[in-house]
Structure 1
Amino acid sequence: MKNILVPLGLSKDSVSIARLQYAIDFAKELGGTVYAVQVFKELPRSGSLPSVNETLKDISATTIEEKLAQVDKKGVTVTALPLEGDLLEAIPEFNLKHSIDLIVLGAESDDIKMPYFLGETSGSLVKKTEIPVLIIPENYEFKPISKILMAIKSGVIKKETTLNPIKEILSTFNADIKLLQVKTAEYLPEDSEFQKDLAALISSYKSSENGTLFQGVLEHLNENNPDLLCVLRRNRGFFGKLWEDNKVLKKDFESRIPLLVLKGAY
């Protein structure tokens, strides 16, 4: 995960800066580069001068640099990246040219009055992008990852590259991974067949029967006390349903530790 992208402007400045610092600390361990992104919307060409749009780009770049001045870069290359247009369109377009390995997003506030775990834009990015996403709780400070809990419903993974991010994390931090298979009402016999690469990664395995994957995760989080929770975003199933409306309610799913969402397994 050499190229890590952090969208700014999705939350208040202090939270964005804390998330950016986490991404930098994470990138330092992985030997990666961070792109700090903020979008700006150009005025319609028919009613504006090119110089006006250049000014908007410069203003966006300045805003990013002001935030970068408040973090410790720790020797990591951090690039201010103003992108034109809509974030959901700009990131995939940038990815085609620069091969982004990971997007770092922030969860909504942990204030009990805030009902959402992910807001509209963050939820849309998780739902629509094929890039792995790391979701950081509000003001969460980086610490080395020694224990990972990976929660799945099915061990079938057809895309060869799906597990690459978790492999790199395991290698970098010399971490252990516990696999939790949650068997819901939709569980099929073929779900018990584990892809060879997945089987080779896990340190231990446990299964449970629950109504949803989230219920299974809640049941085992305190028991395992992991530093990272990992899930697979498939095109169908519980997580597919979660993001039907883009926003994710806390009552449906939330995590108080970093959550790694790997792109669809099939």
Structure 2
Amino acid sequence: MKNILVPLGLSENSVSIARLQYVIDFAKELGGTVYAVEVFKQLPRSGSLPSVNKTLKGISANTIEEKLTVVDKKGVDVIPLPLENDLLEAIPEFNLKHSIDLIVLGAESDDIKNPYFLGETSGSLLKKTEIPVLIIPENYVFKPIAKVLMAIKSGIIKKQNTLSPIIEILNTFSPEMKLLQVKTSDFLPEDMEFKKDLATLISSYKSSENATLFQGVLEHLNENNPDLLCVLRRNRGFFGKLWEDNKVLKKDFESRIPLLVLKGATY
């Protein structure tokens, strides 16, 4: 994960700064580069407006630079990245040229009055991008990852490189990784088959019978006390249904620890 992208301004400024510091600390361990992103609204290109748009881009870059002054870069290369107009379109375009390995988003406030785990923009990014996503709780402070809980329904993974982010985390931090397989009502015998690469990563295995993957996760979180929760987002199944809508309600899913969502695990 050499190129890590973190959108700023999707939540309150203090939360964005806390998330940015987490990303920097995380990138330092991985030897990665951080792209700090904010969107600016580009004006229609006509007459002398290109020069105006250039000015707007410069203003956006300065805004990012101001936020960077209150974090400790710790020697990490942090690049201000103003992107034009729509974040959902701009990030995939940037990814084609620079191969982003990870997007880091912030969860909504843990205030009980806020019913959402992810807001409209963050939920849309998670739903529409094929880039792996790491979701950080509000004001979560980075610490080395010693325990990982990976929750799956099926061990079948057909797409190449799906596991690359978690493999890099395991190689960097050498954590213990427990695999929790949640057997729901539509569990199939073939779901017991494990991709060889996945089988070699885990230090222990446990199965659970629950109505949804999320219920199985909740049941075992306290028992395992992990520093990172990892899930596979498939086109079908619980997580596919969960992110059909852009916003994600806390009653449907919530994590108080960093959540790594791996993409492309389709079947």
CA deviation string 1:188-218 (max 9, x = no partner):
1100000000000000000000010010000
2:91 is matched by which residue type in structure 1? Answer: I
C-alpha distance in 2 between matches for 1:168 and 1:35: 19
2:206 is matched by which residue type in structure 1? Answer: K
Residue 163 of structure 2: aligned partner: 163
Residue 60 of structure 2: aligned partner: 60
Q: How does 1:63-142 map to 2 (within 5 A)?
A: 63-142=63-142
Residue 145 of structure 1: aligned partner: 145
CA deviation string 1:30-63 (max 9, x = no partner):
0000000001111112476222111111111011
C-alpha distance in 2 between matches for 1:81 and 1:114: 30
C-alpha distance in 2 between matches for 1:26 and 1:119: 23
C-alpha distance in 2 between matches for 1:123 and 1:185: 27
User: Normalised by the size of structure 1, how large is the TM-score?
Assistant: 0.99
Structure 1 unaligned regions, length at least 5: none
3-state secondary structure, aligned to 1:198: helix
Q: How does 1:32-43 map to 2 (within 5 A)?
A: 32-43=32-43
* Residues 48/213 of structure 1: CA separation in 2 closer, same or farther (3 Å cut): farther
Residue 254 of structure 2: aligned partner: 254
C-alpha distance in 1 between matches for 2:103 and 2:8: 11
2:162 is matched by which residue type in structure 1? Answer: T
Residue 185 of structure 2: aligned partner: 185
C-alpha distance in 1 between matches for 2:59 and 2:238: 41
2:247 is matched by which residue type in structure 1? Answer: K
Residue 5 of structure 1: aligned partner: 5
CA deviation string 1:129-176 (max 9, x = no partner):
110000000000000001000000000001120000000000100111
Residue 226 of structure 2: aligned partner: 226
C-alpha distance in 2 between matches for 1:62 and 1:160: 39
1:51 is matched by which residue type in structure 2? Answer: S
C-alpha distance in 2 between matches for 1:242 and 1:53: 38
Residue 44 of structure 2: aligned partner: 44
C-alpha distance in 2 between matches for 1:45 and 1:95: 24
The runs of at least 4 consecutive aligned structure 1 residues that moved more than 3 Å come to none
Structure 2 unaligned regions, length at least 5: none
1:175 maps to 2:179:
no
Q: What is the root-mean-square deviation of aligned Cα atoms in Å?
A: 0.8
Q: How does 1:179-218 map to 2 (within 5 A)?
A: 179-218=179-218
Residue 257 of structure 1: how far off its partner (Å): 0.1
3-state secondary structure, aligned to 1:245: coil
C-alpha distance in 1 between matches for 2:10 and 2:235: 25
C-alpha distance in 2 between matches for 1:245 and 1:141: 29
Identity %: 86
C-alpha distance in 1 between matches for 2:264 and 2:208: 22
Q: How many equivalent residue pairs?
A: 266
3-state secondary structure, aligned to 1:45: coil
